[in-house]
Structure 1
Amino acid sequence: MRRSQAGEEQGAVGVVDLRAEAVVDLAAFRSNIERLRAAAPTSQLMVVVKADAYGHGAATCAREARAAGVPWLGTALPGEALALRADGDRGRLLTWLHSPGQDFAPLVAAEVDISVGARWALDGVVATGGPARVHLKVDTGLGRGGASREDWPALVAAARRAERDGVVRVVGIWSHLSCADDPTCDCTARQIAAFEEACAVARAAGLDPELRHLANSAATLLTPAAHYDLVRPGLAAYGLSPAPAVATAAGFGLRPALTLRARLSAVKHVPAGHTVSYGHATATRRPTALGLVPLGYADGVPRGAGRSAEVSVGGRRVGILGPVAMDQFVVDLTGLDASAGDEVVLFGPGADGEPTAEDWARAAGTIGYEIVTRLGSRLARRYTAESATGWSGCSG
């Protein structure tokens, strides 16, 4: 992708796509970073930019985070980390999702910190000849990656041997929380206790890592006991609530950074009984004005939200009729003076009454994480330094 002076990400052919755009408010992103920094003032801050920065554009958000003084970035996949290096990022960077057979040499050469949660991963890192920076991961109760309590002592001992051999440097010990978004659950306290035990085992084996890290977005905002030396917020950095049952984004002092909007590509009037979209399961109950929105599930709009989600047209919320198709969906514009070309806001900060990503999550029976991360590659991003107003065509 290349960037125009207007701050748009453009495809190789530079074709202007006037149908839709995702506008990312970088001022909101910076504000969220400051809010998270204030929530954990004694810890270093990592901003997680996996999954294309939760749909916001990894390269741009990484640069913006660095400009805001963020010392650490985090990615899930090795390719995500190497792409940031190729874009010029030279700061501290951790990647953590690997599979047996992974070639760790490019990560070591690029000075990317590598998570190690199993013996095969440590062996793979050692095979590069190093020197490699590793973060040992322990499973404290999530049941996903990380060494089990039974396997942890052997992994720690092997890592210490590799450290003495000068092949690796154990930079960190870390784990991930399962229910930090529910402060009424005692599972976070149990995980903290398990993490403390794992750190004690590592110390007893002779390891002295500079960092211990456990807190995700929710724990950064809700659980100071989990902050340790580094916190790793992801979703909250982009202004969505990581614990909507506890507080909204505004309640946490966060500002949603992404607004997804499109232009109506058609407006037509149909009689009562006219079927809408696939399956003939939806029919108009009265003479109805239909508006066609040129976005669909190929762009990341949840198909299952079709009959319950709303969009904003002319400052008024209107409902979707029928299922969302691959490239488009239909809305009920009855009573509105709307025309082809008018703006449709699918979701945004909510300050002007438009739906939010959390509203769409409820409509789709999912979580806000999925709504923003599923935005497809056909949808270009445009970046502003303050809350987005007006319309600009974007590049596909």
Structure 2
Amino acid sequence: MTTGSSTLPRARLVVDLAAVRHNVATLRAAAAPAELMVVVKADGYGHGMVEVARAAREAGAHWLGVAVLEEALALRAAGDEGPLLCWLGTPGEELAPAVAADVELTAYTPDDVAAVVAAAQEVGRTARLQLKIDTGLGRGGATEADWPALVAAALQARQDGHVEVTGIWSHLACSDEPEHPANDAQEAAFRRALAVAEEAGLRPRWRHLANSAAALTRPTSRFDLVRCGLAAYGLSPVPQLQSSAELGLVPAMTATARLALVKRVPPGSGVSYGHTYVTDRETTLGVVPVGYAEGVLRSASGVAPLLAAGRRTTVAGRVCMDQLVVDLGDAPAAAGDEVVLFGPGLTGEPTAEEWARACGTISYEIVTRLGGRFTREHVDSTQEDPAR
């Protein structure tokens, strides 16, 4: 083990909140006149939910979106008071605290409506409720066949004074493929659901269908509100069509680690488990103290790019639980030097999208998985425009 006087963490995630604000402003302009919801579920896609939420509000995001109740209540506990939608629950969860905190809840079924009504009665206030129609994703929401019953239940609850129905929404399955026929089919189904609700006497203020990809590529899907998650963090939701830079977005997260050990090895040296990498010359190896316990994909083995010792290289051999190895060649390096796994890509470092391509996945997974023994810090870059 090599020790030194540096106080830098062995591995850290640095999140630039100026980049988040820049991205939110960019998305607001792209979606206008529709309002913007920034989705901060899953700890802000790994970026820090509370900090990202504050930055998003500062940049003009009218809404925040979360998946589960504890996320919504954590935001309220942190002082957030703006419109906040929660959409994923299971039977028997305690809804009263969310109703008391003015969190907007989502109903998929008449039973969901009944549960919200019971919570509203418990706390003695009108609950704010949105209805979700499954237009073809096959996840949460009422099917078209069940939709009239959900609308009827919500109308009855409204008539009884227990709920205010504020929105109707759905979610697209193939928006990252703008030409996919499912997009037209789902938008048509959404419009049919809106017509059914309106005919029954329900036309809430907020109608929303578009996620990041649709918000940027499908104007007809924007309605009153768009829900942007990935794009708010600066990552392209349509990387096969346009990069983050081409969309005017700046990736907010940089993942780094400090070399734990540097050593010279002879040619023919096997590296990491299984010796899937063998040196073809005398070379310098560097041990990077992060692995799959930190969320680094094991599929990054041998393929994921890194910036180390001033040059691009790749993970050498298999990713281990706590560490990975890089072949530094003859570049000068010392224990304690920084290795960049990925970042915005503005100074030659790899990006999360490059990691996603190398690992056969999507950038969502790259950023949301990281944690473990990484530390996370939030900075606010002094650049007036982080895109410059």
TM-score, L = length of structure 1: 0.92
The residue that corresponds to 2:349 in the other structure is 354
Structural mapping, 1:250-289, within 5 Å: 250-289=245-284
Instruction: Classify 1:280/1:315 alpha carbon distance in 2 versus 1 (closer, same or farther; 3 Å).
Output: closer
Say which is worse superposed, 39-48 or 274-283, in terms of deviation.
Answer: 274-283
Q: Deviations over 1:259-295 (max 9, x none)?
A: 1111111101111222211233332222221100111
Please tell me the residue identity of whatever aligns with 2:46.
G
Q: Could you tell me whether the CA contact under 8 Å between 1:103 and 1:124 is conserved in 2?
A: no
* Unpaired stretches in structure 2, ≥5 consecutive residues: 1-6, 384-388
Structural mapping, 1:184-263, within 5 Å: 184-263=179-258
Structure-2 separation of matches of 1:387 and 1:305: 33
- Identity score, percent: 58
TM-score, L = length of structure 2: 0.94
Aligned length: 373
Which of these residues, 170, 173, 176, is aligned with residue 168 of structure 2?
173
Structure-1 separation of matches of 2:359 and 2:155: 47
The residue that corresponds to 1:43 in the other structure is 34
Structure-1 separation of matches of 2:43 and 2:21: 17
| CA deviation after TM superposition for structure 1 residue 62, in Å | 0.8
- SS of 2:80 mapped into structure 1: coil
- SS of 2:158 mapped into structure 1: helix
Q: Deviations over 1:229-272 (max 9, x none)?
A: 11100000000000111100011111111111111111011112
Q: Work out whether 1:75 is the aligned partner of 2:66.
A: yes
Structure-2 separation of matches of 1:280 and 1:31: 44
Q: Deviations over 1:133-177 (max 9, x none)?
A: 111000011111100000000010011000100111110000001
Q: Work out whether 1:94 is the aligned partner of 2:85.
A: yes
The residue that corresponds to 1:319 in the other structure is 314
Q: Root-mean-square deviation (CA), in Å? A: 1.3
* Higher RCO (CA < 8 A, seq sep 6+): 1
Q: Could you tell me whether the CA contact under 8 Å between 2:270 and 2:278 is conserved in 1?
A: yes
| CA deviation after TM superposition for structure 1 residue 208, in Å | 2.3
Q: Could you tell me whether the CA contact under 8 Å between 1:315 and 1:353 is conserved in 2?
A: no
The residue that corresponds to 1:123 in the other structure is 114
Which of these residues, 335, 338, 357, is aligned with residue 333 of structure 2?
338
The residue that corresponds to 1:25 in the other structure is 16
- SS of 2:241 mapped into structure 1: coil
Structure-2 separation of matches of 1:63 and 1:34: 14
Please tell me the residue identity of whatever aligns with 1:231.
V
Say which is worse superposed, 336-345 or 378-387, in terms of deviation.
Answer: 378-387
Which of these residues, 119, 144, 149, is aligned with residue 149 of structure 1?
144
Which of these residues, 128, 131, 136, is aligned with residue 136 of structure 1?
131
Structure-1 separation of matches of 2:160 and 2:136: 32
Which of these residues, 96, 110, 113, is aligned with residue 105 of structure 1?
96
* Unpaired stretches in structure 1, ≥5 consecutive residues: 1-15, 389-396
Structure-2 separation of matches of 1:318 and 1:339: 16
Structure-1 separation of matches of 2:88 and 2:170: 13
Q: Work out whether 1:384 is the aligned partner of 2:379.
A: yes
Please tell me the residue identity of whatever aligns with 1:25.
D
